[in-house]
Amino acid sequence: MVNQIRRAAYSITANISEGHGRYSYQENIQFCRTSRGSINEVLDHLYTAMDNEYIDEKSFQKLYQQGRTLERMLNGYISFLQKATNKKKLYG
């Protein structure tokens, strides 16, 4: 389980970076959506870890809230990219 969580967590930043490197709003958005999926994968693994008593509820709550905060931040970035895409279509 530790390896699965690590891979999913690394995937979050790797996909954001790869999307940014594409220099295309649409591709960047798609990679950010993949990152959002990885965030939720990590959160699901946290539930499993707590259910199996690998972590206590206090640790779960802290990590879960950090994950949700990260997801909100990523959603804000996706929203920014979508607005930039629409602006480019209007003025581009």
Tell me what pLDDT residue 92 has: 57
Count Cβ atoms within 10 A of the Cβ of residue 64 and give its class: 0-12 exposed, 13-18 middle, 19 or more buried. middle
What pTM, to 2 d.p., does this model score?
A: 0.90
For the chain, the three-class secondary structure string (H helix, E strand, C coil) is CHHHHHHHHHHHHHHHHHHHHCCCHHHHHHHHHHHHHHHHHHHHHHHHHHHCCCCCHHHHHHHHHHHHHHHHHHHHHHHHHHHHHHHHHHHC
Our measurement of the distance from residue 89's CA atom to the centroid of its chain's CA atoms, rounded to an integer in Å, reads: 26
Which CATH superfamily is 2-91 part of?
23S rRNA-intervening sequence (1.20.1440.60)
Tell me what pLDDT residue 65 has: 98
pLDDT, tens digit (0-9, with 9 covering 90-100), for 9-58: 999 999 999 999 999 999 999 999 999 999 999 999 999 999 999 999 99
